[in-house]
Amino acid sequence: MPKKSVAELYELTRNIRLDILDMVYKAQSGHIGGSFSAAEIVTTLYFSEMENLDPNDPHKENRTRYRC
């Protein structure tokens, strides 16, 4: 997956936050603070820093993994 530009990462993060807000609203439950704070970090890792990812093959043997 090619690395995204800063502008693309900004737009992805914005859309992810809107999705988070929508999900919490529809569930009428949850806390958005933690998800909103982690949005930039996770977006940047997934779309710009982590290598060897294939969304079409999420169980790829030698994929990059994030562990916390």
pLDDT tens column, 42-67 = 999 988 888 888 878 888 888 888 77
Amino acid at 10: Y
Residue 22 above 80 pLDDT?
yes
**What is the torsional sign of CA 58, 35, 15, 29?**
positive
Backbone angles phi, psi at 8, to 5 degrees: -65, -40
